[in-house]
Amino acid sequence: MRYRQDFDPGKRINWKIFQVIWPYLLEYKVRIGIAIACLVLSKTASVYGPFLLKDIVDTLSETGLAKDPVTEGISSSAANLLLVPVGLLLAYGFARFSMIILGEIRDTVFGRVTERAMRRIGLQVFIHVHSLDLDFHLNRRTGGLARDIERGTSGISFLMRFFVFNIAPTLIEIGLVIGLLFYNYGIEFAAITMASVVLYILFSMVTTDWRTQFVREANKADSAASTRSIDSLLNYETVKYFTNEQYEARLYDHALADWESARRKNRLSLLSLNAGQALIITVAMTSMMWLAAQRVAEDSMTIGDFVLINAFMMQLFMPLNFLGFVYREIKGSMANIENMFDLMDLSSKVKDLPAAPQLKVTQGHIRFNQLSFDYQPDRQILKNISFDIKPGEKVAVVGASGAGKSTLVKLLFRFYDPTQGSITIDGQDISAVTQQSLRAAIGIVPQDTVLFNSSIFDNIRYGKPEASDEEVHNAIRMAHLEAFIKQLPDGVDTMVGERGLKLSGGEKQRVAIARTILKRPPILLFDEATSSLDSKSERSILAALREIAEGHTSLVIAHRLSTIVDADRIVVLDQGSIVEQGTHQQLLALEGRYAELWSTQLRSSQSNEG
């Protein structure tokens, strides 16, 4: 399944969410028990309140008390005081207070469950995204992905809180009220209540299902706007280079305009829903009051009964109205988490075998054996590649752009699996060991070093998070970073900016080298590590690379041939195939593809110097 961030109006809501919620509920049985107890007591107080109100009204309505011999001769104010049913009023007040405070206690106790679920699910999604293969990450849209995850976890929180403690209790209360009305006042009152409740729920569900498409449209537009803004900010320098601020603003405004339009449709559809719900409630309450007024006029019901029915209807339709809101929000939340579930349903194409062992590097002997690979069936990148890198040897791979050099790096790190053939390290097929142990054994200095928006010290320590401060400082010394760091006002605590933009290419490369030194892997990989540097920086970086590569098995992906003349062996790729192998001098003597590349770069270098 592919992860989609687009809008599909016909897509059904994914009810699988409740399978995810259930285990988190079971994790806190005691808290759930306390919350349910508070819920039951709160609903009991809620249903009992109108009966207390009826008794109060009926007591106050009695006119015979003023003529009672017991009260004759008592002042008017004292008699009025005796008419007030103090006990009933206190009981009614206590019932109302209990209903509210028990609900608050319930929500507070259950809050821990909700917060822990958000934390656990958020972490699960985060880990899952990191487990997906490189192909997914090359095609993702970071801004939209972040918003989808954020809305998804918030939606799960809403579902856990409101479905468990609002929808089910409201339905229970509706059943109790209808039963009490039927028992005390007859079938007419119960039938009107039942019909209005059923009509209200059906109308809310049908209309909300219709409205869900507008929620999805708004989400799509929101994700698109977020993606556009983040992408533009990440490429701030490019925007400035081409003076495209207004162009970016127009694109962002178009995305916001789509969002505005979707929100308008959403708001208008909400008006239709609320108006329909209000009409159903009004008709139901008017019918009940009309029927109750007739019974009072016929003396078959008291004023207290009239007040009780009115209180029941108001008490019933308040949560019922909230039920409509909750159902709308649940549908909206479901729409919000659909993309997150699509994301969770994705699986990496590169997987560890069941019970895969750890890679054990004893010598660092790497063998590429009849390796073929293609990203698409009609475009083969590597064709039957075979060569060895013996323990402690430095082997360089060179070739024109598109020859497949960087693809070798991705295959060695097992970001992809080869179409045919295998890669072994000390005789162990890398597809048969865990990816974690494989990548832990390889250190890389990439062509484009991307740093975290943190300090230089933290970025170096990233190579080995558990390293001591002394180990980090030792790596800094070995990477010849000390002189540069001493020039900075904040030293190693200097912030490098987003993606390391505050540092030059050479400075970032030195940080990458220090990070790799700290990792201390048995195998080193240099992916065109000096291709973007000037000559002076290149010479100093090369010296540092030679120093850290000594005694290690090294694979160098090179663009500038002058950087790998000291390699033990050079492998020349051309259109995905090996065309030559040998030392620098041997390859020049062949006067083949390597000699041609060397001659071209030499002329280019002389031309630049001239």
Q: Which of 290, 322, 345 is the last residue of a domain?
A: 345
- Shared domain for 542 and 429, answered yes or no, is yes
- Shared domain for 464 and 549, answered yes or no, is no
Residue 288 has pLDDT above 50, yes or no: yes
Q: Which of 324, 345, 366 is the last residue of a domain?
A: 345
* Contacting residues for 545 by C-beta, under 8 A, at least 6 apart: 445, 513, 526, 529
- Shared domain for 185 and 48, answered yes or no, is yes
Asked whether residue 585 is domain-assigned, the answer is: yes
What pLDDT shows up at residue 418? 92
Cβ-based neighbour number of residue 462 at 10 Å: 16
Whichever domain contains 113, its CATH number is: 1.20.1560.10
What pLDDT shows up at residue 73? 46
Taking the C-alpha atoms of residue 244 and residue 599, their distance in angstroms, rounded to an integer, is: 40
Q: What is the pTM of this model?
A: 0.65
Taking the C-alpha atoms of residue 130 and residue 350, their distance in angstroms, rounded to an integer, is: 12
Q: Which domain holds residue 144?
A: 17-345
In this prediction, residue 322 has a pLDDT band, given cuts at 50, 70 and 90, of low
What pLDDT shows up at residue 533? 59
- Tokens 């060397």 belong to which residue? 598
- Shared domain for 287 and 382, answered yes or no, is no
The 10s digit of each residue's pLDDT in 16-40 is 666 766 776 677 778 878 887 887 7
Encoded tokens for 271: 């008006």
Q: Which amino acid is at 170?
A: T
- The phi and psi torsions of 380 (rounded to 5 degrees) equal -80, 130
Asked whether residue 10 is domain-assigned, the answer is: no
Taking the C-alpha atoms of residue 234 and residue 288, their distance in angstroms, rounded to an integer, is: 62
In this prediction, residue 277 has a pLDDT band, given cuts at 50, 70 and 90, of confident
Q: Which of 520, 549, 572 is the last residue of a domain?
A: 520
- Shared domain for 231 and 279, answered yes or no, is yes
Cβ-based neighbour number of residue 405 at 10 Å: 22
610 burial (CB, 10 Å; 0-12 / 13-18 / 19+) is exposed
Residue 81 has pLDDT above 70, yes or no: no
Residues 17 and 162 sit within 8 Å (Cβ to Cβ):
no
The 10s digit of each residue's pLDDT in 486-541 is 888 888 898 887 667 778 777 888 888 888 888 888 998 888 766 655 666 667 76
Residues 557 and 413 sit within 8 Å (Cβ to Cβ):
no
In this prediction, residue 426 has a pLDDT band, given cuts at 50, 70 and 90, of very high
What pLDDT shows up at residue 398? 92
- 265-301: buried (b, 16+ CB within 10 Å) or exposed (e) per residue? ebeebeeebeebbeebbeebbebbeebbeebeeeeeb
Taking the C-alpha atoms of residue 252 and residue 221, their distance in angstroms, rounded to an integer, is: 11
**Range 5-13 contact pairs with CB under 8 angstroms and sequence separation of 24 or more:** 5/141, 5/144, 5/145, 5/148, 5/220, 5/223, 5/227, 5/339, 6/220, 7/216, 7/217, 7/219, 7/220, 8/216, 9/213, 9/216, 9/217, 11/216, 11/338, 13/212, 13/331, 13/334, 13/335, 13/338
Residue 171 has pLDDT above 70, yes or no: yes
Cβ-based neighbour number of residue 569 at 10 Å: 20
Asked whether residue 8 is domain-assigned, the answer is: no
Taking the C-alpha atoms of residue 392 and residue 395, their distance in angstroms, rounded to an integer, is: 10
Residues 153 and 121 sit within 8 Å (Cβ to Cβ):
yes
Asked whether residue 1 is domain-assigned, the answer is: no
224 burial (CB, 10 Å; 0-12 / 13-18 / 19+) is buried
- Shared domain for 311 and 248, answered yes or no, is yes
Taking the C-alpha atoms of residue 551 and residue 282, their distance in angstroms, rounded to an integer, is: 85
Residue 323 has pLDDT above 70, yes or no: no
What pLDDT shows up at residue 403? 82
- Residue 34's Cβ-side half-sphere holds a number of Cα atoms within 13 Å equal to 13
- Shared domain for 286 and 333, answered yes or no, is yes
Residues 406 and 351 sit within 8 Å (Cβ to Cβ):
no
Highest mean pLDDT pick, 60-64, 239-243, 414-418: 414-418
What pLDDT shows up at residue 74? 45
Encoded tokens for 373: 């690979």
Name which residue leads in pLDDT, 286 or 180. Answer: 286
- Shared domain for 370 and 273, answered yes or no, is no
Average pLDDT over residues 390-406: 88
- Shared domain for 488 and 435, answered yes or no, is no
- Shared domain for 201 and 269, answered yes or no, is yes
Whichever domain contains 405, its CATH number is: 3.40.50.300
The 10s digit of each residue's pLDDT in 459-490 is 999 888 999 999 999 988 888 888 888 888 88
Taking the C-alpha atoms of residue 255 and residue 225, their distance in angstroms, rounded to an integer, is: 5
Residues 438 and 359 sit within 8 Å (Cβ to Cβ):
yes
Closest by alpha carbon to 495, among 459, 527, 468? 459
Query: What percent of the chain stands above pLDDT 90?
Result: 17
Asked whether residue 2 is domain-assigned, the answer is: no
Encoded tokens for 396: 């360089």
Taking the C-alpha atoms of residue 224 and residue 257, their distance in angstroms, rounded to an integer, is: 11
- Name the strands in the sheet holding 366-376, side by side, starting at the edge strand that comes first in the sequence: 379-389, 366-376, 420-425, 428-429
Encoded tokens for 545: 């690379």
- Shared domain for 224 and 360, answered yes or no, is no
Spell out the SS3 assignment of 257-305.
HHHHHHHHHHHHHHHHHHHHHHHHHHHHHHHHHHHHHHHHHCCCCCHHH
In this prediction, residue 143 has a pLDDT band, given cuts at 50, 70 and 90, of low
Average pLDDT over residues 260-288: 86
Is the four-CA dihedral 100, 102, 106, 111 of positive or negative sign?
positive
Say how many residues make up the chain. 610
Asked whether residue 383 is domain-assigned, the answer is: yes
- Shared domain for 269 and 283, answered yes or no, is yes
Asked whether residue 203 is domain-assigned, the answer is: yes
Taking the C-alpha atoms of residue 507 and residue 140, their distance in angstroms, rounded to an integer, is: 29
The 10s digit of each residue's pLDDT in 342-366 is 777 788 888 889 999 999 999 999 9
Residue 284 has pLDDT above 60, yes or no: yes
**Angle, vertex CA 91, rays to CA 87 and CA 93, nearest 5:** 120
Asked whether residue 129 is domain-assigned, the answer is: yes
Residue 156 has pLDDT above 60, yes or no: yes
Total number of domains in the chain: 3
